[in-house]
Structure 1
């Protein structure tokens, strides 16, 4: 059997090289699509999103009603909210969503970021307060990820970079079922699958956190 194995390796070097190339990521960073080549690391499985481990984060599921539609990461007096939405094959959502956000929050300006156009400025907080916020949109294959960084990280690049590194290793599991445009890709609690992975990494148990407002 070893002779056959050696012969096949000699006869098919190009095929082996092609297989290795096809398994390599085609982009430098994510968010990745579950069906495209991406770095294989141990991630927290929330169903629609696979999240990298960061023991410094306090992670919480965000909900609208009884539906889990996003995740919140708390770190260094800052928060990162992530929400994944269904999109069409032919058209991204960020241009449209960005216009909606600017309509609802007047004190935002556009800037160029690692993923292209971003929004940054002040948004309404609790009561009559305001808070700094930075909106980042990433269009993917049939999905869209909206990230909102608020608090200290909205202005402190050192803290923001920790969140950006987190975003770059997220995997989106869109699935094959039909979904309406802008429909949230729902998440599940990790204790439904793989809760022991979360505990073994020293992360706080997921609990219901602040709601992510609907952007429709």
Structure 2
């Protein structure tokens, strides 16, 4: 039963509650209560645990306002994925609600969004006009994926050569060869979400923390689940010349 019901609004006990979201989302990430969730060789970041691999670089992005860890970015070669985790209702997911919000935010910035079916279900490929420090205009291309789990939601934002290629960009062979979207998808599939039992409002960020002995690489703006305009868009390796 939801912890947010007040005494005056508590539902009729004779009406059964909706079925909870399954423990195993099917595509990963996995819930910490899932017997299939890995426990050895994991990088413990609080609400998220990632399989530690030497070929991956992990950066913890910090909210400028609160100085708290807001997201985790994993890099493999020229590709990266940013992972954020949020609280969600017990009996329903939020990805179907979040996708239109992302599309609206991108369109408001003059960008374009394509919805399609991908490895994690329905996803978005967004092209956002961005001006580089040298004055050149490029399209930042990102792939937004969402996974609903039991009382949590994880958003994964991929960028890199394979995302550019899927959006129609022509890439130099040397850049295309450095795309490791396959490895980063595996990072997401094997990630473990530790939701905790405390009551949290839907879409409230799940707490992330630095591993012992680590420090944040650089500050980052807040990361809302709707992918709003305050979110980082990556570096120039994730850009393509702007098209009309």
TM over 0.5: yes
Mapped to 1, the partners of 2:48 and 2:218 lie a distance apart of 16
Three-state SS of the structure 1 residue aligned to 2:86 is strand
Number of residues of Structure 1 aligned to a counterpart in Structure 2: 181
Q: Are the equivalent residues in 2 in contact too, given 1:76–1:152 (CA < 8 A)?
A: no
Counterpart residue number, 1:97: 98
Q: Distance in 1 between matches of 2:187 and 2:93?
A: 22
Q: CA RMSD in A?
A: 2.3
1:88 aligns with 2:86: no
Match status 1:214 vs 2:235: no
Task: Find the counterpart in structure 1 of residue 199 from structure 2.
Answer: 178
In the TM superposition, residue 83 of structure 1 has moved relative to its aligned partner by 0.2
Per the TM alignment, residue 55 of structure 1 is displaced from its structure 2 partner at its CA by 1.3
The corresponding residue for 1:112 is 117
Deviations 1:106-126 (A, max 9, x none): 311011012210101312445
**What is the alpha-carbon distance in structure 2 between the residues aligned to residue 164 and residue 209 of structure 1?**
25
Contact 1:84 1:185 in 2 (8 A): yes
Q: Is the 8 A contact 1:59 1:206 kept in 2?
A: no
Q: For residues 125 and 83 of structure 1, do their structure 2 counterparts lie closer, same or farther at Cα, with a shift above 3 Å needed?
A: farther
Q: Which has the higher helix share?
A: 1
Please say if residues 84 and 184 of structure 1, whose CA atoms lie closer than 8 Å, have aligned partners that are also in contact.
Answer: yes
Larger Rg: 1
1:206 shift after superposition: 5.3
Note if 1:165 corresponds to 2:170: no
* Residue ranges of structure 1 left out of the alignment (5+ in a row): 1-24, 196-204
Cα distance change on mapping 1:212 and 1:188 into 2, 3 Å: same
Q: Is the contact made by 1:62 and 1:212 (CA closer than 8 Å) also made in structure 2?
A: no
Is 2:87–2:201's contact at 8 Å kept on the other side of the alignment? yes
**What is the TM-score when the length of structure 2 is the normalising length?**
0.67
User: Is this contact kept in 2: 1:30–1:167, CA < 8 A?
Assistant: yes
Quote how far apart the aligned CAs of 1:130 are. Answer: 2.0
Alpha carbons of structure 1 residues 212 and 125: separation in structure 2 relative to 1, 3 Å: farther
Q: Distance in 1 between matches of 2:165 and 2:60?
A: 25
Q: Distance in 1 between matches of 2:53 and 2:113?
A: 30
**Is 1:130–2:135 an aligned residue pair?**
no
CA contact (8 A) 2:47 2:193 kept: yes
Counterpart contact for 1:131–1:151, Cα < 8 Å: no
Match of 2:32 in 1: 34
CA distance in 2 between partners of 1:26 and 1:131 (Å): 32
Q: Secondary structure at the match of 2:184?
A: helix
8 Å CA contact 1:72, 1:79 repeated in 2: yes
> Counterparts of 1:49 and 1:189 in 2: how far apart (Å)?
11
What's the CA shift for 1:152? Answer: 1.6
- TM-score, normalisation: structure 1: 0.75
Q: 1:151: Cα distance to partner?
A: 2.5
**Secondary structure at the counterpart of residue 99 of structure 1:** helix
Give CA-to-partner distance per residue, 1:34-78, whole Å, 9 cap, x none. 112123331000111111112112211112231212101122222
